[in-house]
Each structure stands twice: as structure tokens, then as C-alpha cells.
């Protein structure tokens, strides 16, 4: 997976943003992605994004009238990337939900070991925006709801007695793994997360069929 993360949504790539012709909006988002992820959203001003993207203020504000709109676009772009990734893993392991979950653990473990990994972009954004009514916090909530529903679907396919509860447990393990990858021992994330995921699914299958 290189530095393309199921958590960071490729946010961890910190190389310089090269100006490119064509989609100016994408160039602004590229600059914001790197700066927001590596330095923190609130710490990065619109002027800093403008300078990194190599656009004028008029052009910037034509595409993003407010910084909040840019933040939401940044989070939504990562969400789209992550959804495509997770759905791709599921499709690669069609009919094998446990295999999909194991592949996800492996992918998260790989990215957690990247030197520029700074945790989950959504957890980071949620920590910066405490107001649940803020558009950024709403974007975080939307994606986390989708992610949990995706895991619940896999848990259901795996025969879990309570897919929603299993998904909540899987999500908690995933969140902890992302924190560990950022501030702990990243080398253990993949194998331990895979073991944790497998244990959750096994426990819920056993509860569904106690005999």
C-alpha cells in the first residue's frame, strides 16, 4: 500500500506539492491534504495552503469560499478514497468476510509502519473540532458511521450473533491500532490487530451458535 492509508487516506504523503496544470481545485486539495495531515488543520492558515498550491487568493476563494469548506472537502476526499479501498478489499475476498477483515488488518499495519504516518485523519480532525455541529465534525461522523456499517456487514456475513456490537468492537480495535501506529510500536500493529479482529469474529460466531 505504500503510504496510501486506509486511515490516513494518503494524507501521510508529505512530499512537496508540485504545481500541475488542469484541475486547480485538486491542486488546492493536494496542498491542503499534506499540510492539514502533517501540521494539523487549525494550525494551517488559508494563506499557507494558497502558497503551497501556487494559486492566487481569488482563485482559492472561488473554489473554497471558506476554510471550513476546504476542510470538509479534504475529509470527504479521504473518505471516498477509504471507501474505495475497503470495498476493493471486500471484493477481492468475496464470500470470505474473515479474509476481508484480515486483509484490512494487514493494510492498516503496513501503513502504520510508514515514517510519515500521523494517525487517522478523522480521529485527528475530531480531536481538533469538539463542536458536534461543526461541518468538519459532521464529516467525521458521516464517515465513521459508514465505516462501522461496512464492518457490521462483514460481521453479519461472518455469522456474528450481533453484527452491530461486533462492528463497534472491530472499530474500537482499529482506532487503538491507529493510535499505536502513531505513538507506540508500529511494528506490532498488523499482527496484533489481525489477532484482535479474528478474536472478535470468533467470539460473536460462538455466541450465535453456543452448541
pLDDT for position 115: 85
In this structure, the number of other CB atoms found within 10 A of the CB of residue 149 comes to: 12
Alpha carbon distance 160, 201 (integer Å): 7
Average model confidence (pLDDT) for the chain?
Answer: 89
* Distance set, CA 18 to CA 27, 54, 152, 195 (Å): 8, 9, 40, 41
pLDDT for position 206: 87
pLDDT digits over 163-180, tens only? 999 999 999 999 999 999
Q: pTM value?
A: 0.86
Average pLDDT over residues 97-118: 92
Cell triple for 54: 501556487
pLDDT digits over 47-69, tens only? 999 999 999 999 999 999 999 99
Q: Using pLDDT thresholds of 50, 70 and 90, give the confidence band for residue 19.
A: very low
With 80 as the cut, is the pLDDT of residue 22 above it? Answer: no
With 60 as the cut, is the pLDDT of residue 97 above it? Answer: yes
Q: Using pLDDT thresholds of 50, 70 and 90, give the confidence band for residue 211.
A: low
pLDDT digits over 27-50, tens only? 999 999 999 999 999 999 999 999
User: With contact defined as beta carbons under 8 Å apart, do 110 and 169 qualify?
Assistant: no
Q: Using pLDDT thresholds of 50, 70 and 90, give the confidence band for residue 111.
A: confident
Write a three-state SS string for 38-74. HHCCCCCCHHHHHHHHCCCHHHHHHHCCCHHHHHHHH
Cell triple for 10: 494518503
pLDDT digits over 143-155, tens only? 999 999 999 999 9
Using only C-alpha atoms, what is the Rg of the chain?
18
HSE of 137 in the Cβ direction (CA atoms, 13 Å)?
9
CA angle 107, 115, 75 (to 5 degrees): 65
Cell triple for 106: 494487514
Phi-psi region of 119 (alpha: psi -120 to 50; beta: other; left: phi over 0): left
Amino acid at each position: 500500500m505504500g503510504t496510501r492509508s486506509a486511515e490516513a487516506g494518503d494524507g501521510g504523503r508529505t512530499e512537496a506539492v508540485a504545481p500541475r496544470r488542469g484541475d486547480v481545485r485538486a491542486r488546492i486539495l493536494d496542498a491542503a491534504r499534506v499540510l492539514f495531515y502533517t501540521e494539523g488543520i487549525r494550525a494551517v492558515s488559508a494563506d499557507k495552503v494558497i502558497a503551497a498550491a501556487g494559486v492566487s487568493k481569488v482563485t482559492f476563494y472561488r473554489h473554497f469560499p471558506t476554510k471550513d469548506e476546504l476542510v470538509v472537502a479534504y475529509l470527504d476526499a479521504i473518505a471516498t478514497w477509504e471507501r474505495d479501498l475497503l470495498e476493493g478489499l471486500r471484493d477481492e475476498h468475496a464470500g470470505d468476510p474473515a479474509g476481508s477483515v484480515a486483509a484490512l488488518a494487514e493494510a492498516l499495519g503496513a501503513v502504520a509502519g510508514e515514517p510519515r504516518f500521523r494517525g487517522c485523519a478523522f480521529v485527528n480532525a475530531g480531536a481538533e473540532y469538539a463542536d458536534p455541529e461543526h461541518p468538519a465534525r459532521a464529516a467525521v461522523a458521516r464517515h465513521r458511521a459508514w465505516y462501522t456499517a461496512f464492518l457490521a456487514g462483514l460481521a453479519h456475513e461472518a455469522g456474528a450473533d450481533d453484527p452491530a456490537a461486533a462492528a463497534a468492537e472491530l472499530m474500537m480495535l482499529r482506532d487503538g491500532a491507529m493510535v499505536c501506529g502513531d505513538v507506540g510500536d508500529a511494528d506490532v500493529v498488523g499482527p496484533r490487530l489481525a489477532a484482535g479482529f479474528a478474536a472478535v469474529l470468533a467470539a460473536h460466531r460462538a455466541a450465535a451458535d453456543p452448541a
